[in-house]
Amino acid sequence: MTPKTLYDKIWDAHVVHEAKDDTCLIYIDRHLVHEVTSPQAFEGLRLAGRKVRAPEKTIAVPDHNVPTTSDRSNPEKMTEDSAIQVAELDKNAKEFGIHYYPVTDIRQGIVHIVGPEQGWTLPGMTVVCGDSHTATHGAFGALAHGIGTSEVEHVLATQTLIQKKSKNMKVEITGKLPPNVTAKDITLSVIGKIGTAGGTGYVIEYCGEAIEDLSMEGRMTVCNMAIEGGARAGLIAPDKKTFDYVKGRPHAPKGFQWEAALSWWKTLYSDKTAKWDKVVTLIADNIAPVVTWGTSPEDVLPITETVPGPDNFKGAKADAARRSLKYMGLTPGTKLSEIEIDTVFIGSCTNGRIEDLRAAAKILKGRKIREGLRAMVVPGSGLVREQAEVEGLADIFKKAGFEWRLAGCSMCLAMNPDQLRPGERCAATSNRNFEGRQGRGGRTHLMSPAMAAAAAIAGKLTDVREMS
């Protein structure tokens, strides 16, 4: 038999039809839906008189628009158009009979956190969502990627997608991570190395000792940002940690079905002699806590470095750097650890899971954030929030001076009221530092939860290794 990569194996198990020109119809096992990219798709179904083909494989949760303050179930707390989108999702979920987690449900949260938490995401599945960070689910060895609204409609109607196969890229992280270096530092460092278009046309499989050592939460952080490297999806081969995480979740298989699933899941790895179209290797020991300085996730450097100048780049990248520096209000040569901030955001589908909150709380314990700083923690789901309360993390955050919010996307993309004002500078655990992402004129520095906590204490970007 020809040796296969993990991606090849999952792909092959889902081909419904293959045309002569290699265009395939791929079966979709799970479809996750949120309020922003779905209304037009449901409307399309309605206009054509179509149904949702597999409502039992479809889940919906509002997350992008929802306020994260305690009074949020009052629709008046949302702008009119946000409230309309959430109400539409409500209506569509009911009308088409799909699983739904409204804001009043403790299981509500960011769609990419809810899916794995509820056991909807399983190894070897194909998972799609009208959201680019669907790559997150690749941490389970599921082929997961973002789609546009027309494709959302296509999946709702047919439970399939028209696709051509991507190429295989292996990203190996060898050895062990140094202390205080996290999954976020790995994923940002990979993007720094390959660039935001480095993965275009590929599905990335992350592997190596440092990846195996990560918890499921950490693996989700790594895969989450595969899209920031341009890849269609990120994957990590499932192992005992994956199976342990999945076992017992509400929608995970049980009994003899569990045994059957497990025996298939154990075959899901890349064969030793599988062929890769591209291989990238990073040595874990050389990875440091990193931060971004510009307006692209590839603008990333270890915290010990200084802000680069346009001369460090060539051609169009030099122009982009000039523009970034102007937007970010930074002078080349400034030490990254001297950049003062006024906002801290801990949350998002990249870093809004329990382990992320634990890592931040560990740094914050017994400390206070810098006076005048606005800092908020937005747990990724109601269940993460509850768990953090049980573990006493919420108290640590509150005592340190953080606002303790309800679950949602919040200031990751600022579609709800949580936004930066022009010129405000934020240490953020989210995934995009694009111009205006967290609010018009707002300036974003991406980093790990521990680094964001350290920044909150110091009031400036800080090397967490000096604080722990």
Contacts of 312 (CB under 8 A, 6+ apart): 321
167 exposure class (CB count in 10 Å sphere: 0-12, 13-18, 19+): middle
Q: Per-residue DSSP letters for 256-300?
A: HHHHHHHHHHTT-S--TT---SEEEEEEGGG---EEE-SSSTT-E
Which partner, ligand SF4, other proteins, none, binds residue 296 by CB below 5 to 8 Å per kind? other proteins
88 binds, among ligand SF4, other proteins, none (CB under 5 to 8 A by kind): other proteins
Work out how close the CB of 319 gets to other proteins at its nearest, in angstroms, rounded to a whole number.
Answer: 7
Judged by beta carbon distances under 5 to 8 A according to partner kind, the member of other proteins, ligand SF4, none in contact with residue 276 is none
| Residue 413 is a binding residue for ligand SF4 (CB under 6 A) | yes
> Looking at 144-152, 408-416, 434-442, 445-453, which segment touches ligand SF4 (CB under 6 A)?
408-416
- The closest of 402, 303, 411, 424 to 350, measured between CA atoms, is 411
159 binds ligand SF4 (CB under 6 A): no
Q: Which is nearer to other proteins, 260 or 279 (CB)?
A: 260
Q: Which is nearer to other proteins, 78 or 388 (CB)?
A: 78
Question: Can you read off the two tokens belonging to residue 251?
Answer: 């929608």
110 binds, among other proteins, ligand SF4, none (CB under 5 to 8 A by kind): ligand SF4
Of 26 and 413, CB closest to ligand SF4: 413
Q: Which is nearer to ligand SF4, 110 or 194 (CB)?
A: 110
C-alpha 431/C-alpha 438 separation (Å) is 11
DSSP reduced 3-state for 117: helix
Using CB under 6 A, count the residues that bind ligand SF4: 13
Q: What is the CA radius of gyration of the chain?
A: 21
Tell me which H or E stretch contains 374: strand 374-378
Quick one: which segment of 213-221, 336-344, 360-368, 409-417 binds ligand SF4 (CB under 6 A)? 409-417
Write out the H or E segment, with its range, that includes residue 37: none
Residue 109 C-beta: closest distance to ligand SF4, Å? 10
DSSP state of 124: T
String of contacts with ligand SF4 for each residue 76-115, x by CB under 6 A: ----------------------------------x-x---
Nearer to ligand SF4, 9 or 437 (CB): 437
Single-letter amino acid code for the residue at 166: S
Determine, following the binding rule CB under 6 A, whether residue 292 of this chain makes contact with ligand SF4.
no
Interaction of residue 64 with ligand SF4, rule CB under 6 A: yes
Q: Closest CB to other proteins among 5 and 438? A: 438
Under the binding rule (CB under 6 A), the answer on residue 349 touching ligand SF4 is yes
Q: Which amino acid is at 178?
A: P
Told to check if 431 binds ligand SF4 by CB under 6 A, we report yes
Compute the distance between CA of residue 28 and CA of residue 197 in angstroms, rounded to an integer: 26
Could you tell me which of 150, 35, 40, 147 has the C-alpha nearest to residue 81? 35
Nearer to other proteins (CB atom), residue 231 or residue 406:
231
* For ligand SF4, the closer CB: 183 or 349: 349
- Return the one option of other proteins, ligand SF4, none that residue 430 interacts with (CB less than 5 to 8 A, by type): ligand SF4
Q: Cα–Cα distance between 211 and 213 in angstroms, integer?
A: 5
What six digits make up the tokens of 277? 């179209």
Looking at the Cβ atoms of 32 and 373, the one nearer to ligand SF4 is 32
Can you list the positions of beta strands (E) in 113-178? 126-129, 143-146, 160-163, 167-174
C-alpha–C-alpha distance, residues 439 and 316, integer Å? 26
Instruction: Measure Cα distances from 68 to 275, 355, 390, 404, 414 in Å.
Output: 46, 20, 20, 9, 11
Contact positions vs ligand SF4 (CB under 6 A): 63-64, 110, 112, 131, 133, 348-349, 409, 412-413, 430-431
